[in-house]
Structure 1
Amino acid sequence: MIQAVIFDIGNVLIEWQPECYFDGVVGEARRRALFADVDLHAMMDRIDAGADFAGEVARTAQVHPEFSAEILHFRDHWTDMAQPEIPRSVRLLKALKARHIPVFALSNFGADNFPLSVAQFPSLGLFDRSYISGAMGMRKPDPAIYAAVEADCALPPGALLFTDDRGENIAAAAARGWQTHLFETPEGFAQTLVARGLLPEKDAQ
């Protein structure tokens, strides 16, 4: 029996597509050059693992002065980049809350930039428990972060239903005995919630 539903955040509740953002800001050609020369995803991985948000962005900008202005967008325009909200996913979160089903967040997210997104999207503050990698000092798919969730919530692995858009994160959870859903669309996740008896059809719209 599922006793809690655990949501990833990026590309599940809010969109995270930095390449698309930079296409709109600097154009596709400049964006391609930026992402080819600077490993921005590795920069975000370090932030997600606990590095200081503003400091890590500034350090990366100093290392790549030719792209400094673009890199600093991560620090100075975070709420423009990590958006918009995914409305149906938010409705599913609220519907689970309304039925008194515990909902947790488990997200690779920086400790300093996560509060910026919560202020922008109050739905991110609705979780009964939030497991944010930057605050925990560990990232998915490290098995240690799943173990830390289990220890904190004191629920058996098989009682947890976890949705995430990345296959490696889902695989790591499944290896611990969690029930999982690989998130591709809100509609697909809604169908899973109905099939598992967590939401009636009318509440999953």
Structure 2
Amino acid sequence: MTADLVVWDFDGVLNAEPEGTPFGWVPRLDADLGLSPRAFRAFLNRPGQAAQVLRGRLSLLAELDQWLTTQDTGVTADRLLAHWLRSEDRPDAQVIDWLDRSPQRAVIGTNNPAPRAEYIMQSMGFSARVETIFASGPMGMAKPDPGFYGAIERWSGLAPSALLLIDDNRANVAAAAARGWQTYHFHAHTRDGLPAKLGIAP
């Protein structure tokens, strides 16, 4: 069955995952901004913080601002956030070409806070490629929360069987499938099969 609407995950699908550990730009923070990579790693690893930021319960900018007050620096939260966003900008040209050539309607469904969602749509130009972005921060819920999928269903007005999720996270795919969505678990060993799923040439 051909889907009417494709929900594209962002990181790991449209945006390539970096080789090695996540946040591979952090070791360069000292050279780039004069900030301690070790201290910033500790900030990133604060228990529960990431989940709260992803669901919009904490402001990423406010958390960065608070952390910077503990550092001997003149770097502002706005500057650090802008550096973070640029450093995570890794568009996968091949997958984006598939998005552009696919005949289905398209939206992005991603676990990201509001500043990153805006960056994706405006600075990275995805507002010209998809109808809208469903991002966990503004929504107040994150995949695989059932409400995340329910919000997309209500917005689209489509039956779950007419929706296709392309995602690199197995739990996110399983949650969509449990609601009756079509799914595609995207990873290195399956990516070459995606054009056929979309009904386009490789």
Please tell me the TM-score bracket, short chain as reference. 0.7 to 0.9
- Checking the alignment, whether the CA contact within 8 Å between 1:90 and 1:123 is kept in structure 2 is no
The answer to whether the 8 A contact 1:78-1:113 is kept is: no
Indicate if the aligned counterparts of 1:92 and 1:190 stay in contact, CA closer than 8 A. Answer: no
Structure 1 residues not aligned, in runs of 5+: none
For 1:165, give the aligned amino acid.
D
2:191 aligned with 1:184: no
Comparing 8-17 with 149-158, which one deviates more in the overlay?
8-17
More helix by share: 1
| Equivalent of 2:25 in 18, 21, 34 | 21
Over aligned residues, Cα RMSD in angstroms? 3.0
Structure-2 residue corresponding to 1:152: 155
- Alpha-carbon displacement from aligned partner over 1:69-106 (angstroms, at most 9, x marks no partner): 9995752413322212111111011011xx3x111111
Q: Which moved further from structure 2: 143-152 or 127-136? A: 127-136
Percent identity, aligned pairs only, is: 25
Match of 2:90 in 1: 84
Cα 1:37–1:200 change in 2 (3 A) is closer
Contact 2:101–2:200 at 8 Å: present in 1 too? no
Structure 1 residues 113, 37: CA separation in 2 closer, same or farther (over 3 Å shift)?
closer
For residues 47 and 127 of structure 2, the distance between their equivalents in structure 1, rounded to whole angstroms, comes to: 22
Q: Distance between the aligned counterparts of 2:85 and 2:9, measured in 1? A: 18
Question: By how many angstroms is 1:52 displaced?
Answer: 2.3
The CA distance in 2 between the partners of 1:78 and 1:34, in whole Å, is 12
Q: Structure 1: how far apart are the matches of 2:159 and 2:74?
A: 47
Checking the alignment, whether the CA contact within 8 Å between 2:4 and 2:162 is kept in structure 1 is yes
- For the Cα contact (< 8 Å) 1:43–1:57, is it kept in 2? no
Equivalenced residue count is: 192
Per mean C-alpha deviation after superposition, the further-off stretch among 2-11 and 72-81 is 72-81
TM-score (norm. length: structure 1): 0.78
Which secondary structure state, in structure 1, belongs to the residue aligned with residue 114 of structure 2?
Answer: coil
CA distance in 1, matches of 2:125, 2:138: 19
Specify whether residues 36 and 47 from structure 1 end up closer, same or farther in structure 2 by C-alpha distance, changes over 3 A only: closer
